[in-house]
Structure 1
């Protein structure tokens, strides 16, 4: 297809495609308050940009955004911005972030969403999913008026602005579409759409298996013989996921579907700019970048963070397997904006990105900085050794164990079935951590600073009850991979036995 060929050309010349994105954004915003302050009109190349615009975070943009939400225009973009996305992230100012979403960004997002499907069609040669329904596991498309602007969330806004021609093929409709309690939403979908020809499901990856469980329960209540989801939705072959790493969920998803004949396309997306990357070949590590859909990317090596003028690397100058903090410049008025995500690159031709964690989401009792991706890798290592299917899992830490100066990791897991050899499973988890994190391995050697981890088996239904008890019922909210002391205490209350 023409678009895929154009995408491949953009990937083959990253400096050209990314510089084009940067200059388009800069020229469009040169007359704004931010653009005048930082000399956008004088930016002709990347080096000019890097010297004029420092890396910022949400708190540095908040004064502009607060005024924009009161109706002021021409501050970050040369227009009045009507929509603001209520991001699931947080800032130093409080629990919520409100981010501008312009029509330009929405156009780029819709195009990028189409790109992921075109890439799937080219790689798999499968088009029959377009003949059935797509089930969208999205939050209600509620537009909350807040003065002159509306506040929503990015997935809901995307769903609300679907082209009219595409809307009849998207589900759910009616009460299930507007239900805000996510557990109830999944139950309603399962009850109402058993007999629909659903061929694709789109949403946050961790919700897929929960939907499938509800679907199987609904079928059995209605007297239908259904051993797997393929007995209910036989043409379901495409899962469009994101939000979390898909790898820990794949065994559960495959078991629920009753087949390995499906494709799971992961996307790396954020309210700050849209879709950054997507799976193109499930057998390959990482996700291929989208370098020409309205986002300019930079990367700060983790060891540079905190310096007055940290080193910044463009997409065409990165190194493999180096941990970076991702920085984005978008068509919605965020410029050299540090997202808070940690990433690494596993390929340069084409450029493939791998999500490695959150800046605020590491376990670090002895400066080992274990990311949630390393936790997932260690759990996967244990799952490969033992016939255990997790509902979900999380990790925390104890510091000052038994009055010592040493720490240990805690692995919380709700298994679908009992773990026969808990000690062996825990040893495999520990081995996985040692493989994934060099500093952890060094500090675990002879129990130097980190003691062996401890397994906390959660009672059946604990994950669902924890999500309810902690108010985590939104589609954008996932079961935490790394927990702080308060969350750890709540999880311990769901301990089995």
Structure 2
């Protein structure tokens, strides 16, 4: 056992005990945090406009601060980006995290000196919890790779600006830097395909023990490794034993990733976002992610089915229930106030508070009143794949197909890129349709009433999703294809790319 792995064990015990203390008083922890946040920001431009000095309770926050998304808060973000101080949080942000927006183009999310520990400690503590729970720390003695965006930062009015993964790269602890790959020269390459080839060059022959990244981009890395060597990942990296991931639901990628590896490896799921590091998997094998209630973020949860109502309730962790869908709203020491991050979660434990990420509040399909969410289509796909063991899926999305006349009735269209297609495409489509009906009663009602006919499955050629993302300049990094949409914009673009 190396020095790093040996020293990590007492540190892991210490961190786990610290977490247990606030887990024993979660509601009080969150309420105390809210009072601190409001008092600290009371003198800012936002604080004065919303009378944050009077916010003592969640009820006060609901009364003083409405739920807003990035577009609604953009005037404040624009002032911050322009270099104005004391807008959303005292002083200037330490960084601006650059990310893609849905309607406002590029978004610039502030990261303050107070909030940067949330991003950095969240990932570190996830690894330490793994060490504490399993006793396995040898991965710290090998080479670690974090597939991420470029760490090069721009300056916007004196504020360092870049992708969150690139910002985080600047805060990798010094004791891990010697273990970290790829090199800085490779990591700053912007073109993902060129960068990927260089990463393969640098990692072949190394003692890789931990690999981290968004599953579809890790899969591309594994595919390039195997194409270069003709061997599975387990033979290329026999010491690889820990996979860390986040950003998308792992289940649609699980089978193909582990087939590429060639044997099981341990995994840790994270819930990172530019707005904050929200949760991580603290128990191996438990799908629930522990909410970080003592890390600068005050959480609110809006029932997903009521999110777009003007008087939608805003619940705290004291009010949430198991197995219900909630949209996540944050108030944080990054200067985010009543901020809707767009993600939906479902609680699987209330002691401690653990969630699974179920989709995006704007990424649902309800062109016909069915309100199908991301978790339901992913579960339906997984159920169908369980019946067709030969099937492997690379990527997919679902769109409405509205009929023009009775001869072409309305239905859902599933556009699926298969790594290995079903032997009977029609039977697989039928299994998908049945699985979705079991998971969504509104969809089942529409099917029973013949308002919708069975779904249409459209297989896409290998590489279609990559070509589509490349055409948007979003190949690699933290970029993801939406699973669902209420229009056919993504579907038609994918079909155009499939014809190339």
TM over 0.5: yes
Name the structure 1 match of 2:41.
29
Question: 1:175 aligns to what?
Answer: 185
* 1:30-57 alpha-carbon deviations (Å, 9 max, x no partner): 2212122222222333333332222222
For 2:463 and 2:59, locate their aligned partners in 1 and report how far apart those are by CA, in whole Å.
54
* 1:400-479 superposed matches below 5 A: 400=403, 402-403=405-406, 406-445=409-448, 448-479=450-481
Q: SS where residue 216 of structure 1 aligns?
A: helix
Partner of 1:223: none
CA distance in 2, matches of 1:306, 1:244: 24
- 1:29-85 CA-partner distances (Å, limit 9, x unpaired): 122121222222223333333322222222232112211112110111111224211
Q: 2:211 maps to which residue?
A: 201
Q: 1:20 aligns with which of 25, 32, 37?
A: 32
Partner of 1:74: 86
Aligned pair partner of 1:330 in 326, 329, 332: 332
Post-superposition shift, 1:269?
A: 1.5
Give deviations 1:307-336, integer Å, cap 9, x for gaps.
444311001210122222110011110111
- Residues 9 and 438 (structure 1 numbering): CA distance in 2 closer, same or farther, change over 3 Å? farther
- TM-superposed CA distance for 1:231, in Å, is 0.6
Q: What pairs with 1:151-170 in structure 2 (closer than 5 Å)?
A: 151-170=161-180
Shift of 1:495: 4.8
* 1:362 alignment partner, one of 361, 364, 370: 364
CA distance in 1, matches of 2:173, 2:321: 40
Q: 1:87 aligns with which of 99, 114, 119?
A: 99
Structure 1 residues 455 and 496: CA distance shift in structure 2, 3 A: farther
Matches of 2:362 and 2:245, distance apart in 1: 23
Query: 1:163 Cα deviation (Å)?
Result: 2.9
CA drift of 1:126 comes to: 0.6
Give 3-state SS (helix, strand or coil) of 1:80's partner. Answer: coil
Give the one of 231, 234, 247 matched to 2:235.
231
3-state secondary structure, aligned to 1:190:
helix
Q: Distance in 1 between matches of 2:238 and 2:108?
A: 41
Alpha-carbon shift at residue 282 of structure 1 (Å)? 4.5
User: Alignment partner for residue 344 of structure 1, among 343, 346, 368?
Assistant: 346
Alignment partner, residue 119 of structure 2: 109
Whether 1:389 and 2:399 are equivalent positions in the alignment is no
Runs of 4 or more, structure 1, over 3 Å off, are: 306-309, 401-406, 493-497
Distance in 2 between residues matched to 1:152 and 1:4, nearest whole Å: 32
Answer whether contact 2:96 2:159 (CA < 8 A) is retained.
yes
Conserved 8 A contact 2:466-2:475: no
Q: Deviations over 1:81-108 (max 9, x none)?
A: 24211123334xx222111111221112
TM normalised by structure 1 equals 0.93
Say if 1:385 and 1:401 are closer, same or farther in 2 by CA, change over 3 A.
farther
Deviations along 1:113-159, whole A, 9 cap, x unmatched? 12111111122211000001110100111212233323211111011
Q: Which runs of 5+ in 2 are unaligned?
A: 1-12
Q: Per-residue deviation at 1:370?
A: 1.1
Which region of structure 1 is more displaced relative to structure 2, 132-141 or 475-484?
A: 475-484
Equivalent residue for 2:282? Answer: 280
**Structure 1 Cα separation of the partners of residues 91 and 460 of structure 2:** 51
Matches of 2:56 and 2:470 in 1, distance apart?
Answer: 51
> 1:250 & 1:241 partners in 2: Cα distance?
11
- Quick one: distance in 2 between partners of 1:429 and 1:270? 31
2:491 corresponds to 1:491 = no
Task: Indicate the residue corresponding to 2:247 in structure 1.
Answer: 243
* Residue 143 (structure 1) aligned with residue 138 (structure 2): no
Compared CA separation, residues 33 and 493, structure 1 to 2 (3 A): closer
Residues 42 and 461 of structure 1: CA distance in aligned 2, closer, same or farther (over 3 Å): closer
For normalisation by structure 2, the TM-score amounts to 0.92
CA contact (8 A) 1:180 1:474 kept: no
Q: 1:496 to 1:434 in 2, by over 3 A?
A: farther
Kindly indicate whether the alpha-carbon contact (under 8 Å) linking 1:136 and 1:202 is maintained by their aligned counterparts in 2: yes
Q: CA deviation at 1:27?
A: 2.1
1:165 is paired with a residue of what secondary structure?
Answer: helix
Query: Which one of 287, 291, 295 corresponds to residue 297 of structure 2?
Result: 295
Structure 1 residue ranges without an equivalent (≥5): 221-225
1:192 counterpart = 2:192:
no
Q: Secondary structure at the match of 1:264?
A: strand
The residue that corresponds to 2:261 in the other structure is 257
